Structure 1
Amino acid sequence: MSITSRSLQKLLRDNISGEKPLNVDPEQARELAEELLARVEPLAGVKRNDNCHHYSRFQGGANGDKPPSNTLCCSILLEESSDRWYRDHTHLHLLRSPEEQLWVELGRERSPAPVSDIGEVVALVKAFLKRVDQQKAQAVKRQKQKDLKMQAILAQVRKIAKEDGFDFATEVDTIKLKLIIRLSDNDYFAILIPFNQFKEVLPKLRTAIQALRETYNSGVRFKTHLKRGYRRSEWIRHQDL
């Protein structure tokens, strides 16, 4: 789960107005950075980062010339999700430009306008965290829905397997359940059941399995694209149901 670049851009547009850009000298910039940190560090999911290695200078300037570098006033880590192995924080940088204005970088996105009040950055942080909470809630809801659909599919498959006498195995990803039907010690076939179509597929499942098994038992052999074999321990035996 990750907040997209488009969402980051919208958060920046909605919260950094640019109406009355601040003009600050280095000392004022440091004071505002400390004020920002004092206001957002108590929030859950916010952490000060005094050793930032991800600061990237924003590009601009006339004729494509590289502008003087911006000064990093402070760096903040905003937590996204603890289940993402590759990156679980988004960096927020408060920058002072050579024109003595304050800008915000959120992830790899830069604010479309300079900061008018440090409260705008506080509001941006809160809006980001709210968006993260919404995404987490949506992910939990989707997972519950998927689990219910998977349970319904497995209940039907177990019933059919017990009554018709065949072994099976399953694999699950985010969008579908793969049902592998065992035809013999060496042969099997797979039926893909998308979660968003399981209501349409389930009533036809028994007929499809029966037809394929009868065709196989008549001597016809199938060529499948399954790339792996299945160990005995992975099969659900119909005798055990």
Structure 2
Amino acid sequence: MSLNSRTIAKILREHFTGETPIIKNAFEHQAFISSLQTEIEKIKGIEKPYFYRSSSEPEPNYQFSIKDDSSFYDYDSFTIKFNQSNELIITYNGSRANVYQIEQIFSFIDRIKQEYENKKARQLKKEKINKLKQLAIIGNIKKIAKEDKFDFYTREYATKLKLIVQIELGKIIEIDIPYSEFQDTLKELRSLIQTIRELQKSGLTFRLKSTAKKYKHSSWITHESL
């Protein structure tokens, strides 16, 4: 699935509106949906189209998927069929809507594609903002590391930056710094590291992770290099 289910349900409600839905006699169903299938398959980005029948739904059902071009695996699948009242409907998971005009189906596909583009734009904007936050975080860490003389390593994730600090030779602590709270976390970072180092020196023992395996080949930033 590419889009949020609630987003698609909202689009279905807003997009498919009208006074009288398309109604066909039972003997017309298969030919009508088959004709729709032919037209839909001409659209770029439509994948895995097929007819199917199930024991619970003897009527022909046409399922098609709209591919999100920004992701290799993401797509959203929809089903077109007639309900028991011979009304043409389009369904998605538990959501459904009556179809009032054939053109609504094609404009709906265009709208879903536009939502993919909007989602991609929002993601790129978020990544850009997070990158700026990463630079700010690392800049602050370098300043603290130089002054307090410790080596560190960072890993970047979608919602946070993981800071790995070498407290003593071969022993490290991991600190997660969420991008949404990085300013507050940085305010406490120096005192946290200082407290842990002082406790180590005082003889108080507690469990620290070993760097032997997990970060053996990581690119550590040494305080001497800053």
Is 1:94 the equivalent of 2:98?
A: no
**RCO higher in structure (CA 8 A, sep ≥6):** 1
Structure 1, gaps ≥5 residues long: 58-65
Judge conservation of contact 2:81–2:90 (CA < 8 Å) in 1: yes
Alignment of 1:22 with 2:26, yes or no, is no
1:13-40 deviation line (CA, Å, top 9, x unaligned): 11222631212313344334444555xx
Say if 2:17 and 2:100, in contact at 8 Å, map to a contact too: yes
Higher strand share: 2
- Provide TM-score, normalisation by structure 2: 0.81
TM-score computed with the length of structure 1 as normaliser: 0.76
Is 1:10–2:14 an aligned residue pair?
Answer: no
Say whether 1:76 aligns with 2:64. Answer: yes
- State the aligned residue count: 221
Q: Once the 2 structures are TM-superposed, how far is the Cα of residue 229 of structure 1 from its aligned partner?
A: 4.5
Q: CA deviation at 1:143?
A: 1.0
Which residue is equivalent to 1:60?
none
Report if aligned partners of 1:33, 1:94 keep a CA contact under 8 Å in 2: no
List runs of 5+ in structure 2 lacking aligned partners. none
Deviation string 1:87-108 (CA, Å, 9 cap, x unpaired) is 41112332234643322123x2
SS in structure 1 of the partner of residue 168 of structure 2: coil
CA distance in 1, matches of 2:53, 2:168: 59
Equivalent residue number for residue 35 of structure 2: 31
**1:110, distance to aligned residue in structure 2 (A):** 4.1
1:90–1:183: structure 2 CA closer, same or farther, 3 Å change rule? same
Residue 62 of structure 1 corresponds to which residue in structure 2?
none
Aligned to 2:96: 111
CA separation in 2, counterparts of 1:222 and 1:124? 59
Q: In 2, distance between residues paired with 1:206 and 1:230?
A: 24
Q: Which secondary structure state, in structure 2, belongs to the residue aligned with residue 134 of structure 1? A: helix
- Calculate percent identity across the aligned residue pairs: 27
CA distance in 1, matches of 2:225, 2:70: 38
The question of whether the paired residues in 1 share the 8 Å contact of 2:2 and 2:75 is answered with: no
TM-superposition CA deviations, 1:104-137 (whole Å, max 9, x none): 123x24423x311111212221221222211111
Q: Say which is worse superposed, 171-180 or 146-155, in terms of deviation.
A: 171-180
Matches within 5 A, 1:1-241: 2-17=2-17, 19-24=19-24, 25=28, 26-38=30-42, 41=43, 46-47=45-46, 49-51=48-50, 68-72=57-61, 74-80=62-68, 82-83=70-71, 87-97=73-83, 99-106=85-92, 108-112=93-97, 114-224=98-208, 229-234=213-218, 235-241=220-226
State the Cα RMSD in Å.
Answer: 3.0
State the alpha-carbon separation in 2 of the partners of residues 133 and 198 from structure 1.
Answer: 29
